[in-house]
Amino acid sequence: MRPGAIRFTTLDAALLLLVTGAGGFFVYRAAIGLDYNWNWSVLPQYIIRWDATSGEWFAGMLLKGLFTTLRLSLWGGLLASIIGTGAGLLRVSRRLFWRQLSGTYVGLVRNTPPLVIVFVFYYFIGDQIMNALGMVELSYTLAEQQHWFLETLLGPVEQLPQLLSAIITIALFEGAYIAEIVRAGIESVETGQWEASCALGFTRFQQMAYIIMPQAMQRMLPALAGQFISTIKDSAIVAVISIQELTFQGLQLMTTTYRTFEVWITVLCMYFVLTFLCSLLVRNLELRMNRGKG
């Protein structure tokens, strides 16, 4: 057997049979054992539907919710990366004030329930700021093409204050965890790298930009990827402020159709497909980086 080859033993086969049997039993109990009238036929129209009048396909409630989840995750993850990277760099700063400031932010956010952060930021901060900036009034003054572009990026204009508040809340919450990932990645680089670059006359900025961060980034990538996937899942928390993302649409649909199991199994599958595709993408990126390093 060649080195590194994957072995499939008798124990593996037994475990596979056990897991398959448990899964089959669960499906059987769900389909037969529960006193529940399954009806999957009502679900497809809420994912995508055909309008005979216009002759076009339109996204249903669940698909629209998935698009909103994607927007929240994308913009929230991007903003969280900026906040987290900045806070992580401050965590390893030479100045005590910056280390204490970033440490206070990380400690405060990581030790506060995300639901509390959502309520505090939206009701006490976000709503006041968005209304003071006049975001909705500003969006309605845009030209038609600009209006369409804004809705494509951020969703319905009438929900712009709530959506921006949700994005900032997600970014602040996830940014605290990214800050710790960045700090740990920087500190994992050997001290000799700092010493060698200092001996070559590099400034602190040049050391960080050209020597330390490229090495730290490769080590941080799996953790950052996991954190982005967590951002997708954590975005469901903003359903409490009526952001029409996937979980909120699932709640609305369950109330309308009374199809509890069908709705939540479908929502679960949509979340899984989204996060699994992200995992595959990051895994492919890791392999490319390792191949380039080799």
Cα separation of 52 and 118, whole Å? 41
pLDDT in tens, 214-265: 888 888 888 888 898 889 988 888 888 888 889 999 999 998 888 888 899 9
User: Does the domain spanning 70-242 belong to CATH 3.40.50.2000?
Assistant: no
The confidence score (pLDDT) of residue 3 equals 52
Cα separation of 289 and 275, whole Å? 21
Q: Which helix (H) or strand (E) holds 56?
A: strand 56-59
Cα separation of 197 and 181, whole Å? 23
Two tokens, residue 99:
């280390």
The 3-state DSSP class for residue 189 equals coil
Cα separation of 44 and 232, whole Å? 23
Query: Does residue 66 contact residue 47 with C-beta atoms inside 8 Å?
Result: no
- Exposed / middle / buried, residue 246 (Cβ in 10 Å: 0-12, 13-18, 19+): buried
Query: Does residue 38 contact residue 262 with C-beta atoms inside 8 Å?
Result: yes
Cα separation of 205 and 209, whole Å? 6
For 16, 77, 180, the CA distances from 104, given in Å and listed in that order, are 47, 21, 12
The confidence score (pLDDT) of residue 70 equals 92
The confidence score (pLDDT) of residue 144 equals 67
Of the chain, the end-to-end C-alpha distance in Å amounts to 24
The confidence score (pLDDT) of residue 69 equals 92
Cα separation of 128 and 113, whole Å? 22
Chain centroid, CA 11 distance in Å: 36
Q: Tens of pLDDT along the chain (294 residues)? A: 455 456 768 887 888 888 888 878 777 776 676 677 878 888 888 898 887 777 788 888 899 999 999 999 999 999 999 999 999 999 998 899 999 999 999 999 989 888 888 888 877 766 677 667 666 666 667 666 666 777 777 777 777 777 888 888 899 999 999 999 999 999 998 888 888 888 888 888 888 888 888 888 888 888 888 898 889 988 888 888 888 889 999 999 998 888 888 899 999 999 999 999 988 888 887 787 777 555
161 closest CA partner among 120, 119, 133: 133
The 3-state DSSP class for residue 134 equals coil
Query: Does residue 153 contact residue 70 with C-beta atoms inside 8 Å?
Result: no
Cα separation of 175 and 82, whole Å? 8
